[in-house]
Amino acid sequence: MKHTLKQASSITVAVLATLTLAWAKAPSINATLEPTAIAVGEAAQLTVTVSGKSTDAPQLPAVNGLEFQPVGQSSQVQVINGAMTANLSYTYVVVPTHPGNFTIPAIKIGPGADAAMSPPMVLKVGGVAGGSVPAGNHANQNALPAPAVSSEEEPVSAAEQQSFGFLRLVTPKQEFFVGEMVPVELKAYFRDGIELRVDGLPKLNSDAFTMNKLGDQPVSSRQTINGVRYTVFTWPTVITAVKAGDYEMSVELPTTVTVRQQAQRPRSRRGNPFGDDFFNDVFNNFFGTATQKQMVLNSEPGGVQILPLPAENRPASFTGAVGQFDLAAEATPTQTAAGDPVTLKLTISGAGNFDRVTAPAVEKSDAWKTYKPSVKYEPGDSAGYSGAKNFEQALVPTKAGRLEIPALAFSYFDPEKKQYVTRTTSPVSVEVAPGQTTTATTVPAKPTPPIAVSAASDLAPNQLTPGHFTATLQPWLTNPWIVAAAFFPSVLALFAGLLLRRRQRLARDPKQVRVANAHRVLRVQLETMNRAAADGDTGSFFAAACAAFQNLLGLRWSLPPRTITLAEINARLNGEADGLRTIFGLADEAVYTGRAFAPDELRQLQTLVNNELRKLEAP
């Protein structure tokens, strides 16, 4: 045992001696920047590698428009043909604040005559990479507006100060209305010098809200809180309140933290000529152990209140829009002829839940023939919180004269004023000239004069004798049976080819494949539900019924079926799904209370499910 310890100590001393010789030479420095061209919102990686004797970290120059965020350091020892080389690498994330060409000056290491410097580097920063925008955004969109909150920094608790990081859900209010969309920010604070990896996107822990999809690249910044430097990742997004009540709301973020355990190095009576800090860092990086721990950051839960929309003074034209909106109308042309179309364009602009914005339409009358309006939404930000929704309706005048397009009303609920607001357009006058008509002229046919027959004639009339008839040969084209027998194989081959081509086209169309698969699964689910109703199997009945609704709604909304919840249904259908809520509510009751339904009751619910499914399948 003593021999083994002695041998291990000898090896350690030999390695340390070799490291000492390797670092005894004058320092050298090398810096690399990858990539050298990025866009605003992206980041580059700066790696500074130091070789030889040095006790200090590299001195990074200050560059206006660039932020340098240290993310860690590592050491490397190489032995090639008996020669040892030791390197210490420092890694930084370079984040630009605006576009431009930035020159990073020489980076210096070491003091006095032993100082070494890296060559300057250039980083080119454009507006948006390749002129493109993130998926789901449009080129003309602006950033999502930040929530209007107090500029005072929220206090940090003692537990958060001792942790490697913490989360914040920044909301402008704690009182919401059902259907209200509110811009929020999810912020993750990480202490400088912590080695970690973010393993996913923040998740909202509340079924009373829905949250828009987060971008993969958060906004990065630096912030000092109570004298501690933090790297801050910010995800701007929008949440929508979906059900009334008092709730708690928080967010969580999965991370992996690297924890380094220091190694016990042998003591030396002789002083270290290269600096204890530098030698300890290299020694621990080389001989120490690193452990990765998966940890989930959670924000402090905050109480919120969601109020239902008031039933009092609710306008008849209200369709569920919540926010602040304006209404504008325009008809072109205002001079036309009977039978020629007039285009009525309605524009609803503002901020709020545009998915519930429905414009009024002109109804058919004796003066106008109307068609269903077309809809186009132009979002003003990445989350679709603000923007404009355009409705175009074709109107065809059926008579001449001075016609009037009636005034149209649009109603919404303003959560700031806590009341309903109705916007009304002005009537539009249209001058309609008579249309061009064509009159058909009927020319009477001349009467055929009667044929005069002489009563008295000296000649006897001809006597025509037909004689005997004989059968003649008919061409085969005049025989329908022969024609059918001749052309049937060709028609059959043509039909088979068209059918095969249609199947191949459908097989290449992902949407058609998804629709076909959804309907195939729906048939299986309905068969399972019918058998369960006949057998009185309550659990299987509700499982199949809810799965059928999720399958059909997922197809309509382009969502995974298992993500369709009662909260999602209420948010999207806004109280227009009484049958669906009944089925989902009874399903929860059967699961949580163990209630069993008789076969007669299940057959009645089976009729309700089929009726609701037919409503959902209706265009």
pLDDT, position 389: 93
Lowest mean pLDDT among 327-336, 409-418, 520-529: 520-529
Percent of the chain with pLDDT over 90: 21
Distance between CA atoms of 521 and 529, rounded to whole angstroms? 12
Distance between CA atoms of 83 and 75, rounded to whole angstroms? 17
Taking residue 126's Cβ as centre, other Cβ atoms within 10 Å add up to: 16
Distance between CA atoms of 188 and 169, rounded to whole angstroms? 9
Classify residue 42 by its DSSP letter.
B
Residues 6+ apart with CB under 8 A from 434: 337, 338, 400
Is 279 a residue whose pLDDT tops 50? no
Can you tell me the mean pLDDT for 431-442?
62
pLDDT, position 336: 92
Greater confidence (196 vs 49) lies with 49
Q: Average pLDDT of the chain? A: 77
Beta bridge partners of 430: 403
pTM greater than 0.95 (yes/no): no
Report the 3 state secondary structure along 127-167: CCHHHCCCCCCCCCCECCCCCCCCCCCCCCCHHHHHCCEEE
Confidence of residue 217 (pLDDT cuts 50, 70, 90): confident
Q: Strand 289-298 to strand 251-261: parallel, antiparallel, or no bridges (unpaired)?
A: antiparallel
Distance between CA atoms of 548 and 533, rounded to whole angstroms? 15
pLDDT, position 470: 53
Confidence of residue 44 (pLDDT cuts 50, 70, 90): confident
pLDDT, position 71: 66
Q: How long, in residues, is the chain?
A: 619
Residue 422 sits at φ, ψ, to 5 deg, of -120, 125
Is 442 a residue whose pLDDT tops 70? no
Is 135 a residue whose pLDDT tops 80? no
pLDDT, position 422: 94
Confidence of residue 391 (pLDDT cuts 50, 70, 90): very high
pLDDT, position 141: 44
pLDDT, position 144: 61
Highest averaged pLDDT of the listed ranges 69-78, 176-185, 199-208, 381-390: 176-185
pLDDT, position 6: 53
What six digits make up the tokens of 165?
């990081």
Can you tell me the mean pLDDT for 221-246?
87
Residue 475 sits at φ, ψ, to 5 deg, of -65, 150
Confidence of residue 30 (pLDDT cuts 50, 70, 90): confident
Going through 311-468 in order, the beta strands assigned E by DSSP cover 318-332, 335-337, 342-352, 368-370, 374-379, 386-397, 401-405, 409-414, 419-424, 428-433
What six digits make up the tokens of 143?
């950033």
Element (H, E) at 180: none
pLDDT, position 323: 95
pLDDT, position 177: 94
